[in-house]
Homo-oligomer: A and B are copies of this chain.
Amino acid sequence: MATVSRVVNNNPNVKPQTRKKVFEAIERLGYRPNAVARGLASKKTTTVGVVIPDISNSIFSEVARGIEDIANMYHYNIILCNADKKKEKEIRVVNTLLEKQVDGLLFMGGVITEDHLQAFKTSSVPVVLCATTDEHHAIPSVDINHEKAAFDAVNVLIENGHRSIAMISGTLQDPANGFARYQGYKKALEAAGIPLREDYVRIGNYRYESGLELTKYFLELDERPTAIFAATDEMAIGAIHTLQDEGLKVPEDISVISVDNIRMASMVRPQLTTVAQPMYDIGAVAMRLLTKLMNKETKDASELQQVILPHEVIHRNSVAHR
C-alpha cells in the first residue's frame, strides 16, 4: 500500500520493476487515486478558491482565464464562486472555500471592508487580491494604477486640444476603482489648469446602458463638452452610440476615450481609443504570486506584495484633434 502511494506520488524510492508492476495493476483494476483522502492525509488539496464578482462579465472572465491557466500550469484546480460584489455573499463564500481546505485564495470583489480583512485573517492559507486593493495594503494584491490610467486617458484628450471634457464615472464608493479613476480625471484637469465642472460629471454603473443614458444629459447642456472620458469601455461604447443616434459623429464632433480595453473595444465602429488594463495578466500574475506564497517561497507575505501592472494607451479611432 505504501509502495503504491510512492509510485503514484513519483517517489524515487521504488525499484523500477515494482513500479512497473504497480502501474500494471493500476491499469488492470482501473484504480483511481482519491484526491479527497489524499487531501485529508497530506493537508493539501491542490485547489485554490477564486471569488469573483461575476464570471459572465468579460472583464472578470478574462482575469479568471489568466488565473486558471497559471493554476493549471502548477497543477492546481480552481473553485469558482460568484459573489456579485455583495459583502455578505463574499464573506460567506470565503468561509466555505476555507472549509473546503483550499490551499490559497484569490479574491476579486467590491470594496474591501474591515469584515473582509477579518475573514481573511482567520485564514491559515494565503490570500491575494486580484484587480483590487485594500486601503491599508494589508493583503498582497495585483492590480493596475487606476488613478494613473484615468489620468493618462484624460491627458490624451487634453493633448488633442480638448478643454471641455466630461466624465462618465463609476461609483465613487469604490476606492480601488471608481473613485480612483475619478481622481485621475480630476488631477488631469487640474494639471492642465482646467476648472472642474460639476455638471460635466455623471455617475454610472460601469455598464453599457448607463453610458447610453448619461450621455443624453451631456447633450442637453448649453455648453456641450467636446470630449467624454468614460470610466469603462462599456460606458464609452454606450456614449458613442447615443452620440451616433443623435446624429453626431465620433470623433469628429465629440471624442470618446475610456479605460479597460475589453475585446469589444476593437469590435465597434469607430474603434475605441482606450487605456488597456491587462486583465489576463492580472489574473496570471496574481495566481503566480499565490503559488509562491503557498510554497512559502517568499519570506513574508506583507512585504512588497503590492504588484502594480503597467497600463498602456491604445490609440484607435474615437479621439480627434480639435
In chain A between 26 and 55, which residues have their CB closer than 8 angstroms to a CB of chain B? Answer: 30, 32-37, 39-40, 45, 47, 54-55
Neighbour of A55 across the interface among B33, B61, B245, CB < 8 A: B61
Does A101 contact B241, Cβ atoms closer than 8 Å?
no
Given A101-B34, A208-B267 in contact, is the A77-B96 Cβ separation under 8 Å?
yes
When the two chains form their complex, are residues B100 and A77 in contact, meaning their CB atoms are under 8 A apart? Answer: yes
Q: Is A81 an interface residue (CB 8 A)?
A: yes
List B contacts of A55 (CB < 8 A). 55, 61, 64-65, 68
Closest to A212 in B: B267
* A264 within 8 A of partner (CB): yes
**Interface, chain A (partner B; CB < 8 A):** 30, 32-37, 39-40, 45, 47, 54-58, 61-62, 64-65, 68-69, 72, 77-82, 95-101, 122, 208, 234, 237-238, 241, 244-245, 264, 267-269, 280
Interface of A is mostly: helix
What is the bound-complex CA distance between A96 and B47, given in angstroms? 11
CB-based nearest B residue for A98: B32
On whether the beta carbons of B269 and A244 are closer than 8 Å, the reply is yes
List the B residue with the shortest CB-CB distance to A240. B269
Cα separation A230 to B95 with both chains bound (whole Å): 45
**A33 to B79 Cα, complex, angstroms:** 18
User: Which of A30, A45, A79, A245 has the largest count of B CB atoms less than 10 A from its CB?
Assistant: A79
What are the residues of chain B within 8 A of A36 when measuring CB–CB? Answer: 36, 39-40, 45, 100-101
| CA A32 to CA B101, docked complex, whole Å | 10
Partner of A65, one of B45, B56, B244, B245: B56
Bound form: Cα–Cα A264–B238 in Å: 11
Is A99 touching B34 in the complex (CB atoms < 8 A)? yes
Given the complex, which residues of B lie within 8 Å of A30, measured CB to CB? 122
Beyond the given pairs A34-B101, A56-B62, A56-B64, 5 more chain A to chain B contacts, judged by CB atoms under 8 angstroms and listed by A's residue number, are A35-B99, A35-B100, A72-B82, A77-B96, A79-B79
Residue of chain B at shortest CB distance from A264? B264
CA distance A321 to B147 in the complex (A): 49
Residue of B nearest to A65 (CB): B56
A37-B40, A64-B55 known; A100-B47 Cβ under 8 A = yes
Complex Cα spacing A244 to B270, Å: 11
Complex-state Cα separation, A39 to B38, whole angstroms: 11
A80 touches B78 (CB 8 A): yes
Residues of B within 8 A of A122 (CB): 30, 32
Q: In the complex, what residue of chain B is closest to A211 when comparing beta carbons?
A: B267
Known A40-B40, A55-B55; judge A82-B65 contact (CB<8 A).
yes
